[in-house]
Amino acid sequence: MPHVRFTQLLCFAVLVAILAASTAQAHHGWAWATDEEFEITGTIQSMRLGNPHGEVTIDVDGEAWVVEVGQPWRNDRVGLSKEVLSVGREMTVHGHRSAKEGERLVKAERIVIDGESYDLYPGRDS
């Protein structure tokens, strides 16, 4: 009987791990965003870089939009720093917006600031 109990517990643990991983992927992956390409331009109001990904708030015609940028390693790789994302700069975001009606949230694939392009996801088929 102990062998059966162990097998049941192991199966339960695997199921919990799979569910936890799929929930994390749904938030931190692309599942929450639309498939359509989206572009928006605004002025940087605030910025937070760090894990699990950075966020930049931009003002677009008086509305605050949150832009998800990459993880710290991805931002570093393309040169997207605190200095580049400084408050007051104009930023154009190419990516995918939230599929949730009315939510002003964009996952950036590419950002353009002062004519400089920062390609966060090179080669991604969108």
Q: What is the pLDDT of residue 25?
A: 42
pLDDT in tens, 64-94: 999 999 999 999 999 999 999 999 999 999 9
Q: What is the pLDDT of residue 88?
A: 97
pTM of the predicted structure, to 2 decimals: 0.73
CATH architecture of structural domain 38-119: Beta Barrel (2.40)
Query: Partners of 56 in the beta sheet?
Result: 47, 67
Domain residue ranges of the chain, discontinuous segments joined by +? 1-31, 38-119
Q: Which two tokens stand for residue 117?
A: 């392009």
Contact 13, 35 (CB under 8 A): no
**Lowest mean pLDDT, pick from 24-38, 78-92, 109-123:** 24-38
Distance CA 86, CA 97 (A): 22
* CA distances for 11 relative to 17, 19, 23, 47, 116, angstroms: 10, 12, 19, 42, 50
